Structure 1
Amino acid sequence: MSYDSDDDRVFVEFPKSLVNALNIGLDSLMDETNWMGYISLTPLKILNSNAADCHEGFPFSKAYCCTEKYSTQYSFGSVFRTGISMLIEFMLHRTVPDNKQEKFVLSKLLHYLFDYLDTGNWMVWHGNVDVIINNEVVIGSQDVEEKDCSPGGKSPVEGKLKSNSLSRNPQVIAQNIVFSFLQKHRHPESENFLFPCIGVTGKDMIVYFYDSMHDVLLESTLIPLHGMIPSAVSNINLVAIVVSWLVVNYKYLCDGVMEEMKTMKAEFFSQAEAKLAVYKFDLKAGDVGNSCPMDDSQDKVKNFHHPFLMDLKKRKRMVVLEPSER
């Protein structure tokens, strides 16, 4: 059999064993009863922050942002209905997207599974982010904590943070909010303005989303980098791979906030009112030069079932699991 390209080859030869693994992995993003663990998104409300200090701005490493969770949780897949639908159609019917860019994006995930398995404005929150992918997605590494250089000349980077520091992490939240405003300014033509930011430690990852149009801040549950479904690609968690793929390609796979989410405001607009115009209109990427503990036990979880997501679940159940083969 001849193929027009390697991309076409992977669509045809992608093994059923990996289809099985993908099918199981998607359960974590769609079904709260999944035995492996449910990856949810929880809206956050900002109670207090130093995002608009009247005297100065603060680097991301010194951002203060006290938040609390809303009581409602959404499935991770609820904001990625386009991406998950694409995967389900491929698993069910080996359907390949007609859109050239979507086809390319899907091929990258399949190839990976098959083969191997800026700075901001000094007047507000600003600083160097750890990684930016294609100038689009921010990744904040939380393995180390920044500290001031001591007179003795010790390294300014000292001490490991615990994995739970990713949850409601002020630095990552600040990066996400600033980058969301910056991307909205850069790409006003976007269909939605829900922009992601990934926080990573050596063991876990977390994803934040901020919509600078509707003032909605979402936080995912912690996602292990290893285990869960380790057999697909070495010991790397397949769910983490799919989540990363969805997030990195959010421009093509993300559907933005749902109507129900728009009522759960982050309250950043009111928190940063004194300098909101800076965030909305004056952020720049480049060198700026010299220029509260909450008790989650009281949260009442109310899972939301989007009709389209329910339809995706029904279609996904149609995927027939077959014995592993390659």
Structure 2
Amino acid sequence: MAAGSTKREFEGSGDTQVVFKKKKDKCRVDNCFAEMGHIHKVVTRNLLQDVAMEMRSFVDQGCSTFIKINRLTLLNSNAIDGSSFSKAFCRISENDDEHSFACLFKKGLHILMTYMERKEMPVNEQESLVLDTLLHYLFEMKNAETKAPFGVLGNLGETDITIILTNHLFGKLCTSSHFLIDKQFKGKSKAKESCPCSNTECKMTGSFGDTGIGNPSVWHGNLDVIVNNQVVVEALEDEPDSDSPGRTPMEVKSTYLSRNPQIIAETIVFSFLQKKRHPEYSHFLFPCIGVNSKDMVVYFYDSKNDVLLESSPISMYTISGGVNLLAIVVSWLVVNHKYLCDGLTEGLKKETSGFFHQAEKVLPIYKNELQFGDVGISCPKPKHQFNFVDDPSRDVLKKDWLRILNVVFKK
């Protein structure tokens, strides 16, 4: 007899009839066993209004938390020296032009804003599932004690910061909550199997393994975490005091989220690797999230068009100490970029990062010989001595946010 069916006997006849009961769809979000669509019944209008207010920060250049992206140009690097990620060097020039972070995620923001305005779910099942993950997370953040783990990050090292943020934020916003953590972290974390947050019963949905990528002849090394097989997360300890004794300028600089050479190298190599493994993708703009206990910065590299981008810093918390809704929405867009990202705009394709020129001698290795896992970690010293050069920050131009919003979603 088919699953979900029952037998019914008719009185006085001895005949039986099989009655098929329609199986109820279950929610597909991890660790949720309620009926499909239940979350839409409890997401309140106030919650959606809170999210809508935060959306201004994507496009309103007059807003103090406006999120922009800048194209970065590589003036010099050790990309051809066989250096590990931890010894990567990039001398960076920031371009004058500024773009809205939203221009990369018009599709994702259209899905979210359509739901906020009309409570309409996407017709596409995969997109509906992706939206469900965000709605679940937002509802739980407002109605459960899920804020607690983030309050202890300032007292932890980068290993535990990485695991907590991935286990409680980035992983929860994906269609699959599984993530791969650098196996070298296993001996450094406070807990081996459970999450190092304050809840002793909290288990990790990720596992330790080989996160090595690259090639020993070029940039290579282990990534902190790979989320959803699509996104790299790299955590850094909080920025030290520049006057800290015993620290060289290079060591101090390497802890900064902005224009961080290690994260830039990882972003570039990861994009080349993904292009090699998934040539069928519609675009090859892949992200890497850099985080510390307070802020996050998102890097993107397109290994087809040679374009390197960096977002402005995004605070993880509000002034009152709660988790920043804007950081949640940005994280959701980035970890689901496979479904929500449109790739580069035509305007962003006009100028390259210069990496192809910098790595011209070894570019075939980057394009064809990178590997995932079992990467030899040989770390020869760079052949040249480099000096870090900071570029002045650019002032944000003020524009009408409603006009920009119309441009962002103009079809």
- Does residue 286 of the first structure (1) align with residue 286 of the second (2)? no
Task: Give the paired residue count.
Answer: 290
Contact 1:71 1:301 in 2 (8 A): no
Partner Cα separation in structure 1 for residue 399 and residue 267 of structure 2? 24
Q: Structure 1 residues 41, 81: closer, same or farther in 2, change over 3 A? A: same
Cα shift at 1:10: 1.2
Q: In structure 1, which of residues 285, 293, 296 is the aligned counterpart of residue 392 of structure 2?
A: 296
Q: Aligned letter for 1:42?
A: N
Q: Structure 1 residues 236, 293: closer, same or farther in 2, change over 3 A? A: same
- Does residue 184 of the first structure (1) align with residue 281 of the second (2)? no
Contact 1:78 1:309 in 2 (8 A): no
Q: Structure 2: any 5+ residue segments left out of the alignment?
A: 1-23, 27-33, 143-210, 240-250, 379-387
Q: In structure 1, which of residues 69, 74, 88 is the aligned counterpart of residue 113 of structure 2?
A: 88
Q: In structure 1, which of residues 89, 98, 123 is the aligned counterpart of residue 123 of structure 2?
A: 98
Q: Structure 1 residues 100, 161: closer, same or farther in 2, change over 3 A? A: farther
Q: Give every structure 1 segment of 4 or more consecutive aligned residues whose post-TM-superposition deviation is greater than 3 Å.
A: 3-7, 160-164, 289-292, 299-310, 312-315
Query: Which residue is equivalent to 1:112?
Result: 137
Cα shift at 1:171: 0.3
Cα shift at 1:211: 0.4
Query: Which residue is equivalent to 1:236?
Result: 323
Q: Aligned letter for 1:130?
A: D
- Does residue 41 of the first structure (1) align with residue 69 of the second (2)? yes
Query: Which residue is equivalent to 2:256?
Result: 165
Partner Cα separation in structure 1 for residue 230 and residue 125 of structure 2? 20
Contact 1:163 1:204 in 2 (8 A): no
Matches within 5 A, 1:173-322: 173-227=264-318, 235-289=322-376, 292-297=388-393, 299=394, 310-311=405-406
Matched position secondary structure for 1:270: helix
- Does residue 121 of the first structure (1) align with residue 215 of the second (2)? yes
Query: Which residue is equivalent to 1:18?
Result: 47
Q: In structure 2, which of residues 59, 81, 92 is the aligned counterpart of residue 30 of structure 1?
A: 59
Contact 2:103 2:408 in 1 (8 A): no
Contact 2:60 2:401 in 1 (8 A): no
Q: Structure 1: any 5+ residue segments left out of the alignment?
A: 146-159, 316-326
Contact 2:237 2:255 in 1 (8 A): no
Partner Cα separation in structure 2 for residue 215 and residue 135 of structure 1? 22
Query: Which residue is equivalent to 2:243?
Result: none
Partner Cα separation in structure 1 for residue 365 and residue 267 of structure 2? 16
Q: Any idea what the Cα deviations from partners look like across 1:181-224, whole Å, max 9, x if unmatched?
A: 00111111111111000000111110000000100100000111
Q: Any idea what the Cα deviations from partners look like across 1:203-252, whole Å, max 9, x if unmatched?
A: 11100000001001000001111116x6xxx7111111110000000000
Cα shift at 1:273: 0.5
TM-score by length of 1: 0.82
Q: Any idea what the Cα deviations from partners look like across 1:257-282, whole Å, max 9, x if unmatched?
A: 10011112100000000100000011
Q: Structure 1 residues 290, 79: closer, same or farther in 2, change over 3 A? A: closer
Query: Which residue is equivalent to 1:78?
Result: 103
Partner Cα separation in structure 1 for residue 84 and residue 95 of structure 2? 27
Q: Any idea what the Cα deviations from partners look like across 1:75-129, whole Å, max 9, x if unmatched?
A: 1111000011111100100010011110000000000010234212111100011
Contact 2:314 2:327 in 1 (8 A): yes
Matched position secondary structure for 2:270: helix
Q: Aligned letter for 1:311?
A: N
Q: Structure 1 residues 193, 122: closer, same or farther in 2, change over 3 A? A: same
Partner Cα separation in structure 2 for residue 200 and residue 166 of structure 1? 7
Query: Which residue is equivalent to 1:130?
Result: 224
Contact 1:129 1:139 in 2 (8 A): yes
Partner Cα separation in structure 1 for residue 238 and residue 57 of structure 2? 29
Contact 1:72 1:302 in 2 (8 A): no
Partner Cα separation in structure 1 for residue 301 and residue 74 of structure 2? 12
Cα shift at 1:138: 0.3
Moved more, 134-143 or 250-259: 134-143
Q: Aligned letter for 1:269?
A: F
* Aligned CA-pair RMSD: 2.7
Higher RCO structure, 1 or 2 (CA under 8 Å, sep 6+)? 1
- Counting aligned pairs with the same residue, the percent is 46
* Bigger radius of gyration among the two: 2
Cα shift at 1:300: 6.5
Q: Aligned letter for 1:284?
A: Q
TM-score by length of 2: 0.66
Q: Aligned letter for 2:67?
A: I
Matched position secondary structure for 1:127: strand
Matched position secondary structure for 1:32: coil
Partner Cα separation in structure 2 for residue 290 and residue 162 of structure 1? 23
